[in-house]
C-alpha cells in the first residue's frame, strides 16, 4: 500500500520530468523554426554566413549556412571566422572605458590632451565623449571622394593616416548632433595606443580577448594564415564576385576585427558580469547618449525598441551592425529576456535587421515574416545585359509577383552597380523606379541626381539634389554637389 506522501512525491517527479521534457521540445521547435527561416534566406541568396541564437542565456542554435569559400566549396560553420566591420567599435569603446576606470582618460577632455601633435579644428574642441558618440563633427574618412580608389589598398600607420582628416573643417559644432563617423573611432584607437604605450591590437588581446578566452577573435591581417577564415563576396545580380581588397590598417579601431559567433556569445556573457568593465562603466556605455535617428547611441552600441510580431508590445535591444568589403554583421542583445542574436554574413549587404526581427518573433512565440525573393537582384542582369526597355518589362512582371519583394536599399545598390559598369541610362532607369516607389526618401533623389550628373544632365541633377535637400536639409553630399554644379 502506498502512502499519500510517496504518491505525491511520484506525481511531483513525473510532473517535473514532463515539464523539462516539454520545455526541451518547445526550445527545439524554436531552434527548428529559426533554422528553417535562415535556410530560406540562404536559398534566396540573402544570407550566407554563420548564426548563433541564445535564449535565456543558453545557445539554442549555432551553425553555418552557405559557403565560407565558394571556389573550394568550403561550408560556413559556427567556428568560421568573419570580418566584423563596425562591431569592432564596441571593443574600442570598452578599451576606452577601461582606461577611464583606471584614471588614464577623461571623457570630457579634448583630443589634444592625449594627442598633442594632432593639429586641426577638432584638436581642442572635440572630446573623447564626442568621438565615442559620433557627435564630433569630424568628417568620416570613408565618405571622402575617391577614398576607396585612392587610399583603400595602401597600408598606413595610425599616425600617418590621422593626417588625412586632421585638418578637415568640422561639419557641425561638436555635440550638436549624431553623424556616424569612422574617423572618430580611428582616433580613439590611436589615443588607446598613446595612453597604453601598446598597439591597439595588443591592448585588445591583453585586456579583452585573453581574459575572456576569445581565442578565435583578433585583428585581421590579410597576410596572416588564419584557419577557418571566410572569404568575402559581394552580390552581382543572382551571382557573386570576390570583394575588392581592403588594407586592414584603414578600418583599424573602427572596423578591423574578425570573430566567430561563439566567441561573440562569450563576449555577450561577459557583458553581464563585471570582469571586463565595472557596473558604472557599463551603465554609461549602454545609456542613451545621443539620438541617432532610429533610437539612441551609447558608447559603441545602439539602443532601440523592437516590435514583437504584430502586437503592440516591444522589447529593448542593444545592438550594432557592421559592413566591410564582402561582409555585413549584426549582434543584437535583448537584456530583458537574456536573449542574443549574432549574424555574420560573408556576401556583402543583406537584411540582417529583418532576419533578427523574425528570429525575435520566433523566440516570443509570435507569427513571423518569411523572406521573399529579391526583385532588385533579379532585374539587375536584365538591365545590364538587355537594356532599359527589357529591364523595365522585367521589373513590372516581378513587381506583380507576390513572391518577390521590392527593397529601396537593394534597388539603390544595383543602380550604383550599373553606374560603375558604365550603364548610365540603365542606372537612371533604376533610380527613377526608386523615386517613384519611395518618394519620401531623400536618398533616392540624391542617387538619381548623381546618375544625371554622370549623364551630363545638370538641370535634372540640380532638381533631384534640391528635392533631396528639401527632405533632408542635413544631406551634406547634396549640398556639396550643388556647389560643384553651380561652380562649373
Is the sign of the CA dihedral 432, 434, 439, 442 positive or negative?
negative
| Beta-bridge partners for 324 | 327
The whole-number average pLDDT for the span 257-275 is: 97
Asked whether 318 and 301 are in contact (CB, 8 A), the reply is yes
Asked whether 76 and 66 are in contact (CB, 8 A), the reply is yes
For residue range 359-386, what is the model confidence (pLDDT) as tens digits?
999 999 999 989 999 999 999 999 999 9
Spatial distance between the Cα atoms of 451 and 278, rounded to a whole number of angstroms: 51
Spatial distance between the Cα atoms of 97 and 279, rounded to a whole number of angstroms: 11
Can you list the domains of the chain with their CATH numbers? 85-363 (3.40.710.10), 373-486 (1.25.40.10)
Q: Which long-range contacts (CB under 8 A, 24 or more apart) does 273-280 make?
A: 275/211, 275/212, 276/94, 276/98, 276/207, 276/208, 276/211, 276/212, 277/94, 277/97, 277/98, 277/101, 278/101
Kindly tell me if the per-residue pLDDT of 283 is higher than 90.
yes
For residue range 296-345, what is the model confidence (pLDDT) as tens digits?
999 999 999 999 988 889 999 999 999 999 999 999 999 999 999 999 99
Supply the Cα-derived Rg of the chain in whole angstroms.
24
Model confidence at 83, in pLDDT bands (50, 70, 90)?
A: very high
Averaged confidence pLDDT in the chain: 92
Phi and psi at residue 142, to the nearest 5°: -70, -10
Model confidence at 145, in pLDDT bands (50, 70, 90)?
A: confident
Kindly tell me if the per-residue pLDDT of 226 is higher than 70.
yes
Asked whether 276 and 300 are in contact (CB, 8 A), the reply is no
**What pLDDT does residue 488 have?**
65
The kind and range of the H/E element at 67 are strand 67-69
Q: Which of 312-316, 355-359, 428-432 has the lowest mean pLDDT?
A: 312-316
Kindly tell me if the per-residue pLDDT of 1 is higher than 50.
no
SS (H, E, C) 368-400: CCCCCEEHHHHHHHHHHHHCHHHHHHHHHHHHC
**What pLDDT does residue 24 have?**
46
Spatial distance between the Cα atoms of 440 and 443, rounded to a whole number of angstroms: 9
Q: How far is Cα of residue 193 from the mean position of the Cα atoms in its chain?
A: 25
104's CB contacts (< 8 A; 6+ apart) are 195, 196
Spatial distance between the Cα atoms of 347 and 353, rounded to a whole number of angstroms: 15
Kindly tell me if the per-residue pLDDT of 8 is higher than 80.
no
pLDDT above 90 coverage of the chain, percent = 84
| Beta-bridge partners for 43 | none
The whole-number average pLDDT for the span 250-275 is: 97
Kindly tell me if the per-residue pLDDT of 28 is higher than 80.
no
Spatial distance between the Cα atoms of 482 and 461, rounded to a whole number of angstroms: 9
Amino acid at each position: 500500500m502506498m502512502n499519500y506522501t510517496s504518491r505525491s512525491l511520484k506525481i511531483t517527479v513525473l510532473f517535473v520530468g514532463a515539464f523539462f521534457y516539454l520545455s526541451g521540445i518547445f526550445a527545439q521547435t524554436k531552434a527548428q523554426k529559426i533554422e528553417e527561416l535562415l535556410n530560406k534566406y540562404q536559398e534566396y541568396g540573402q544570407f550566407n554566413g554563420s548564426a548563433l541564437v541564445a535564449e535565456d542565456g543558453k545557445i539554442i542554435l549555432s551553425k553555418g549556412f552557405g559557403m565560407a569559400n565558394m571556389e573550394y566549396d568550403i561550408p560556413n560553420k559556427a567556428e568560421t571566422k568573419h570580418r566584423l566591420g563596425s562591431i569592432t567599435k564596441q571593443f574600442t569603446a570598452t578599451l576606452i572605458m577601461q582606461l577611464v576606470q583606471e584614471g588614464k582618460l577623461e571623457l570630457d577632455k579634448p583630443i589634444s590632451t592625449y594627442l598633442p601633435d594632432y593639429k586641426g579644428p577638432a584638436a581642442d574642441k572635440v572630446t573623447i565623449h564626442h568621438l565615442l558618440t559620433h557627435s564630433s563633427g569630424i568628417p568620416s574618412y570613408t565618405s571622402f571622394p575617391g577614398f576607396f580608389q585612392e587610399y583603400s589598398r595602401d597600408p598606413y600607420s595610425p599616425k600617418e593616416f590621422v593626417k588625412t582628416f586632421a585638418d578637415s573643417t568640422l561639419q557641425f559644432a561638436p555635440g550638436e548632433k549624431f553623424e556616424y563617423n569612422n574617423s572618430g573611432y580611428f582616433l580613439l584607437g590611436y589615443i588607446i595606443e598613446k595612453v597604453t604605450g601598446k598597439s591597439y591590437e595588443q591592448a585588445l588581446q591583453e585586456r579583452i580577448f585573453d581574459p575572456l578566452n576569445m581565442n578565435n577573435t583578433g585583428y585581421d591581417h590579410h597576410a596572416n594564415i588564419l584557419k577557418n577564415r571566410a572569404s568575402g563576396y559581394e552580390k552581382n545580380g543572382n551571382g557573386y564576385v570576390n570583394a575588392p581588397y581592403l588594407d586592414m590598417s584603414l578600418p583599424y579601431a573602427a572596423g578591423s576585427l574578425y570573430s566567430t559567433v561563439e566567441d561573440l556569445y562569450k563576449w555577450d556573457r561577459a557583458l553581464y558580469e563585471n570582469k571586463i568593465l565595472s557596473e558604472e562603466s557599463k551603465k554609461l556605455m549602454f545609456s542613451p547618449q545621443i539620438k541617432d535617428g532610429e533610437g539612441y547611441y551609447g558608447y559603441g552600441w545602439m539602443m532601440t525598441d523592437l516590435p514583437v510580431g504584430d502586437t503592440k508590445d516591444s522589447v529593448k535591444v542593444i545592438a550594432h551592425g557592421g559592413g566591410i568589403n564582402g561582409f555585413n554583421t549584426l549582434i543584437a542583445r535583448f537584456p530583458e529576456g537574456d536573449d542574443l542574436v549574432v549574424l555574420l554574413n560573408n556576401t556583402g549587404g543583406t537584411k540582417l535587421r529583418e532576419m533578427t526581427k523574425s528570429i525575435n518573433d520566433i523566440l516570443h512565440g509570435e507569427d513571423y515574416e518569411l523572406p521573399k525573393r529579391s526583385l532588385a537582384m533579379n532585374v539587375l542582369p536584365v538591365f545590364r545585359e538587355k537594356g532599359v526597355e527589357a529591364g523595365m518589362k522585367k521589373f513590372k512582371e516581378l513587381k506583380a509577383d507576390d513572391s518577390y519583394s521590392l527593397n529601396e536599399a537593394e534597388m539603390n545598390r544595383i543602380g550604383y552597380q550599373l553606374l560603375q559598369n558604365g550603364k548610365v541610362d540603365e542606372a537612371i532607369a533604376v533610380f527613377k523606379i526608386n523615386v517613384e516607389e519611395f518618394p519620401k526618401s531623400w536618398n533616392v533623389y540624391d542617387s538619381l541626381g548623381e546618375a544625371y550628373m554622370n549623364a551630363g544632365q545638370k538641370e535634372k541633377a540640380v532638381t533631384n539634389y534640391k528635392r533631396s535637400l528639401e527632405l533632408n536639409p542635413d544631406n551634406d553630399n547634396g549640398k556639396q554637389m550643388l556647389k560643384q554644379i553651380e561652380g562649373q
